[in-house]
Amino acid sequence: MIYRLLIILSLLSSCESSQNKDSQEAVLEPVFDIKKVAALDDSITESSGIVAMNGSLFTHSDIRGKAKLIEINANGVIQNSFEYENISIRDWEDIAADDDYMYIGDIGNNLAAKTDLKVFKIPKLQMKDPNPDHEIMTFSFTDQTTFNNTEYNETSYDMEALTVIDNTVYVFTKDWLNLNTNVYSFKNTTGTYTLSPLATLNIGGLVTGATTSPEGDIILCGYSPTLSPFVARITIKNGVPEIKRKIDITGMLGTSSQIEGITYFGMSNGAATYYLTSEKFTRNFAGSQIELPANLYELRWNE
């Protein structure tokens, strides 16, 4: 079932020359639809990011080791997989792509102990090569002063989201302490970068994924500490990111979800279409086991 937040149909009157009749033209209606399209394959329990490339969907886990990319169809079924022998990752949390390259975000930092977070840049033409040519961008933060956490998820400098716009990589912190997100950026070329935040956004949740919209906005996904998932639209004005809109999608999905990844896929009936993934979530609480499945969702968002 598709849940619709907003449907507004308006008519735009246009004046034509005296040789033509006056006419009215329908304006594309604003729409926000989200639905579950499939359960992910049983072997994909920790889909940490998702990206659309060449008309297909690709996801990955956040398990340490050789980087492995998994191709899935719109039913969440694995079609293929590619392992990169020359790229070792510690905590692969997101993936992005532009016209010519894909970007592996080895950026997970839930102890906030890393000073060498990495993004690997791989030519799309070599995405099936087990030893692709690649560049490495390494970065750390000027505003982080402590690196000695002993407990997981007790930091403002965890990180799970990145996207690329106009040869610039944007990364977003997952702030467990304040439920904000700091936004940083750097060029998509080999180098070591020390980053200062462009902005701190009061997102009110844990940011886990990012993609770009056809209008050039950034679309974030994430969830609250109680697993209420959300998406948000971020605009960049004069180089400064701002929150344009945040939407809680808990009720629309029918259950809480640990949403982890989002990607723009294309236009559908005039609306931008995105795919999102959730991880399998299992916890014991008050003597009962809570389990949320790993799913694939479709979002249509036009405004």
pLDDT digits (tens, 9 = 90+) for 103-144: 999 999 999 999 999 999 999 999 999 999 999 999 999 999
CATH no. for residue 257?
Answer: 2.120.10
For residue 94, the enclosing domain spans 3-302
The C-alpha atoms of residue 121 and residue 97 are separated, in whole angstroms, by 9
The model carries a pTM of: 0.89
Contact 44, 52 (CB under 8 A): no
Helix (H, G, I), strand (E, B) or coil at 251: helix
Domain count, the chain: 1
The pLDDT assigned to 93 comes to 97
Task: For the chain, list residues with pLDDT below 70.
Answer: 1-28, 284-287
What b-and-e string marks burial along 79-108, b requiring 16 or more CB atoms within 10 Å of the CB?
eeebebeebebbbbbbbbbbeebbbbbbbb
Q: How many CA atoms lie within 13 A of 33 on its CB side?
A: 17
pLDDT in tens, 216-251: 999 999 999 989 999 999 999 999 999 999 999 999
The C-alpha atoms of residue 106 and residue 258 are separated, in whole angstroms, by 20
